[in-house]
């Protein structure tokens, strides 16, 4: 490395930027593992029952109508029984008549007047390979009734309601998720139930519903990831209870009230019909319209899983590599030899591999234990490297202490998703402030260097010194001094 501290800082900064490359590839490996984990969770969840959305119940009343059409038929001679023809053209003669037939018309759909639903889930973990997938079993209870007087005003004059063929429809996301006994009661009487053709769900034949009071439905189903309900009642009151401690309430409506603890959660909703774009009675397929309405409910999430933590560790990794490089640069002064660039790169690669170690061990032993093992291995390796390879002597203990603080702060950042940005930015600011204080007396330009030889000297070598040339002095020689002024020369003729 160069002797100038300023240039050394610049070179170390360039090395820090180079560490973005291994951190980028480490983050890509983490992402690939995360996608593989999500695919596993999705596949196991679909096999168990998948995401569930309950839509209904709907009272469907078939309609028949009298349709009169004008038809024509050949005119028959009553005497001969032959088809009569026109005497001039020979064309067959036709006779027109009216025919009235009974056809099926669009059914009448009624939504419940009262709709109360109570959903209770029990979660369990399913394993596939090294991955754990949370799934649930749900017990659903519904109580509802219908205002059958709303059906008659929807009919035309030639239409008739087939009350004895009325049925109740309930849609689910997947029929294979239904488990246990499903039973629908009308005033204590059990109604026959059957799966719907071409759609997921089931129907119950009610007979004439005008004399019915309250209906009760009980069913069990499997599911994974989410449980949703569509608000179909004039007033919908839904309550959910679960032993899952990490709910994410989502959908068209958030709960009116909820309680979340380590043992599970409870939530309840009260939704009026004015809050949903569905008519209480209509001739169109209300179930199809209800499928377009966003349900509401809960998603069973795994908050802050170790893949998210490892990915954030890769994002924060450049900060902690920079702090480690800076620590080595500050404590190496006074050592025999400065740390070489290759040694800095080895230190950075070790810290880049840390996130991969953390993910690999977390898949086997959990995040906390994996973090402790990986951080401990990296700290021990870099401390010994500083002592033996960097020749830092006792200063290697300072490096080890700084690494302990760095990885302890990183754990706090990763463990708390809500305060990660606050902790990371505060730590970065404190690190910069400490660096400014530690280098307050640094001579960034380094010692002054003597001016080197010029280009001509380097090319042709040094030259011999030349003494200055002075004109010779000629002494004046005359007769011995007698004390008299010598006579002047006589003037010469010009």
The tens digit of pLDDT for each residue in 316-361 reads: 778 888 888 888 887 776 555 777 888 888 888 888 888 888 888 8
Q: DSSP assignment of 56-122, as one string?
A: EEEEEEEEEEEEEEEEEEE-B-TTT-SBPB-TTT-PBPEEEEEEEEEEEEEEEEE--SEEEEEEEEE
Nearest to 355 by CA among 326, 378, 323: 378
Compute φ and ψ for 103, nearest 5 degrees.
Answer: -125, 160
Nearest to 139 by CA among 175, 174, 183: 183
- Mapped onto helix, strand or coil, the DSSP state of residue 445 is coil
Q: What is the CB neighbour count within 10 angstroms for residue 140? A: 21
Determine the pLDDT at residue 457: 44
Determine the pLDDT at residue 242: 92
Q: How far is CA 317 from CA 284, 376, 411, in A?
A: 58, 16, 12
d(CA 96, CA 259): 74
- CB 178, CB 221: distance < 8 Å: yes
Q: Which residues of the chain have pLDDT under 70?
A: 1-6, 97, 100, 287-294, 303-305, 333-336, 417-420, 441-494
User: DSSP character for 410?
Assistant: H
Question: Which residues does 385 contact at the CB level (< 8 Å), separation at least 6?
Answer: 343, 346, 347, 350
Determine the pLDDT at residue 241: 94
Strand partners, 60: 109, 167
Query: What are the strands of the beta sheet with 189-190, ordered from one edge?
Result: 189-190, 178-186, 215-223, 131-145, 114-128, 235-242, 264-272, 257-261
Nearest to 161 by CA among 173, 150, 172, 177: 150
Determine the pLDDT at residue 1: 45
């Amino acid at each position: 490395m160069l002797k100038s501290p300023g240039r050394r800082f610049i070179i170390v900064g360039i090395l820090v930027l180079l560490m973005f490359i291994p951190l980028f590839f480490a983050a890509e490996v983490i992402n690939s593992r995360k996608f593989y984990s999500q695919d596993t969770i999705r596949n196991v969840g679909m096999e168990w029952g998948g995401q569930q959305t309950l839509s209904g119940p709907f009272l469907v009343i078939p309609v028949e109508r009298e349709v009169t059409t004008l038809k024509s038929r050949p005119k028959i001679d009553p005497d001969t029984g032959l088809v009569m023809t026109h005497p001039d053209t020979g064309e067959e003669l036709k006779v027109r008549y009216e025919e009235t037939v009974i056809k099926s018309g669009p059914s009448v759909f009624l939504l419940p007047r009262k709709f109360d639903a109570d959903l209770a889930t029990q979660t369990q973990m399913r394993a596939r390979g090294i991955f754990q997938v949370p799934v649930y079993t749900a017990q659903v209870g519904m109580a509802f009734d219908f205002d059958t007087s709303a059906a008659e005003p929807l009919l035309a004059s030639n239409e008739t309601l087939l009350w004895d063929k009325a049925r109740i429809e309930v849609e689910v996301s997947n029929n294979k998720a239904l488990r246990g006994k499903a039973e629908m009661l009308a005033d204590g009487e059990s109604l026959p139930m059957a799966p719907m053709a071409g759609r997921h769900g089931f129907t119950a034949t009610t007979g004439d519903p005008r004399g019915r009071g309250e209906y009760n439905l009980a069913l069990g189903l499997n599911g994974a990831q989410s449980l949703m309900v569509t608000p179909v009642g004039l007033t919908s009151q839904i309550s959910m209870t679960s032993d899952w401690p990490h709910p994410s309430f989502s959908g068209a409506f958030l709960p009116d009230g909820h309680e979340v603890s380590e043992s599970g959660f409870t939530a309840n909703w009260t939704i009026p019909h004015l809050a949903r774009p569905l008519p209480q009675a209509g001739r169109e397929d209300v179930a199809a319209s209800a499928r377009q309405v966003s349900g509401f409910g809960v998603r069973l999430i795994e908050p802050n899983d170790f893949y998210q933590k490892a990915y954030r560790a890769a994002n924060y990794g450049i900060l902690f590599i920079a702090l480690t490089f800076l620590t080595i640069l500050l404590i190496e002064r006074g050592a025999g030899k400065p740390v070489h660039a290759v040694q800095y790169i080895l230190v950075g690669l070790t810290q880049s591999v840390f996130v991969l170690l953390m993910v690999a061990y977390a898949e086997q032993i959990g995040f906390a234990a994996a973090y402790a093992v990986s951080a401990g291995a990296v700290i021990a390796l870099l401390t010994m490297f500083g002592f033996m390879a960097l020749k830092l002597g006792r200063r290697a203990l300072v490096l080890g202490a700084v690494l302990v603080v760095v990885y302890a702060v990183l754990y706090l950042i990763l463990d708390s998703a809500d305060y990660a940005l606050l902790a990371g930015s505060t730590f970065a600011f404190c690190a910069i402030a400490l660096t400014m204080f530690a280098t307050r007396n640094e001579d960034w330009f380094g010692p002054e260097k003597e001016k080197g030889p010029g280009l001509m000297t380097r090319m042709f070598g040094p030259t011999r010194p030349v003494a200055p040339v002075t004109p010779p002095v000629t002494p004046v020689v005359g007769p011995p001094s007698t004390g008299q002024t010598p006579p002047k020369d006589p003037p010469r003729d010009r």
